Each structure stands twice: as structure tokens, then as C-alpha cells.
Amino acid sequence: MKLLHLDTSALGDHSVSRQLTSAIVARWQAGLDGLEVEYRDLDRDPIPHLSGRTLAGSDELERARSEATMQQFLDADAIVLGAPMYNFGIPSTLKAWIDRVAVNGRTFRYTANGPEGLAGGKRVVIVASAGGQHGGQPTDFVEPYLRQVFGFLGITDIEVVRADGIGMSPEHREAAIAQALGSLPEPLRDAA
């Protein structure tokens, strides 16, 4: 079974989402023998923004990198994704990754009856961290957006671990981390 662990926070060791994605992955690794984990740090190794050159496929190196990103996504049975809120939305590094994996004809397609997701059967856990309190509010363009993107690709097993109020005070930060750590997603099980 393959797990893709994605971090996107630019705050390195101070990142709450990194702390929480690590805790989830460690828990899942401990509970499932033979779990293959691929780690990708989109802050340290960002994917270039999608461009006309990308779509034209004229740059061989970029085409190969794009395909590797797509294959890594397709191969994953589960994804644990750190998604800090930046200016009410996701980090641009994460958007650049989404632009490589949401591809017509590969992970979704349009039919006479509307769009159809082609990348179902995965479990996705999103760790959504934010400086303020945004969960369930109209100011949150992270959780609804990511649910829409993964849902559009056909993924129905989506869980969100929230850590809100990180910037409000040290006490808020500690409480949000403790609450998230206390309600980590159920261990991963091998469907086979």
C-alpha cells in the first residue's frame, strides 16, 4: 500500500501542519506493516507554475517531471496533505501541484452527463492550519476548495483535521495542536 505525504508550509520546523501530518503518517506507519511512504516537500522542492510551455509539452524535462508528479498521485492509495491557509486560500506551491494532477482525460473527464472523476479509491486526509478561526466560515477558501478538487477527481474518502487560531495566542496554538492530536484519523487499513 502506498501513502503520499505532502507538506507545503513555508514555516519549516515552526509549522503546525507539518507537525500534524508527521503525527498522522507515523501513526499509520506504526499500524500497517509494509506501508510505503513517499514524502514530498512542495516548499523545499516546488513545482514550477503551469505555463503555456507546460501545456504545449515542448520542454522535455518539464514534461517528464509533470508525468512523474501525476504518476505519484495516481499510484497513491492514501494522501496526507498539509494545507496551511495563506491569504485565505492554499499556498501557491500546492496550487502548482494540483495543476499537474488535475488533468482532463487522466484524473477527470467531461461526459454528456457532466464531469466524471477518474482518480477515486484513495483516502485523503487534509491538515488545514490557520492563524485565525476559519473552520466553517465564509472566509475559509482552503477546506471547501480542497474538498471540491479531490471530489472532482472522484475521491470520496476525504477527512479534514483542523488546527485553527494558531496565530491568536500561544495558548490557542497549544490548544489547537492538542485537539488535533487528540482526534487523528483512524489508522490506515489495507483493503487487500
Ligand X SMILES: Cc1cc2nc3c(=O)[nH]c(=O)nc-3n(C[C@H](O)[C@H](O)[C@H](O)COP(=O)(O)O)c2cc1C
Q: Which listed range, 15-23, 28-36, 44-52, 118-126, lies at the site for ligand X (CB under 6 A)? A: 15-23
Name the helix (H) or strand (E) containing 12. none
Answer yes or no whether residue 166 interacts with ligand X by CB under 6 A. yes
Binding residues with ligand X: total (CB under 6 A): 20
Answer yes or no whether residue 9 interacts with ligand X by CB under 6 A. yes
Q: What is the DSSP string of 52-99?
A: HHHHHT--HHHHHHHHHHHHHHHH-SEEEEEEE-BTTB--HHHHHHHH
Distance between start and end Cα atoms, the chain: 9
Residue 139: partners with Cβ closer than 8 Å, 6 or more residues away: 88, 132
d(CA 131, CA 113): 41
Answer yes or no whether residue 178 interacts with ligand X by CB under 6 A. no
Nearest distance in Å: CB 25, ligand X: 15
Place of cell 501525476: 70
Judged by CB under 6 A, the residue of 42, 130, 155, 180 near ligand X is: 130
Judged by CB under 6 A, the residue of 3, 17, 146, 161 near ligand X is: 17
Answer yes or no whether residue 180 interacts with ligand X by CB under 6 A. no
Which residue's CB is nearer to ligand X, number 134 or number 162? 134
The DSSP output letter for 138 is T
Nearest distance in Å: CB 183, ligand X: 17
In the complex, which residues of this chain contact ligand X (CB under 6 A)?
9-11, 15-18, 82, 84-88, 129-132, 134, 166-167
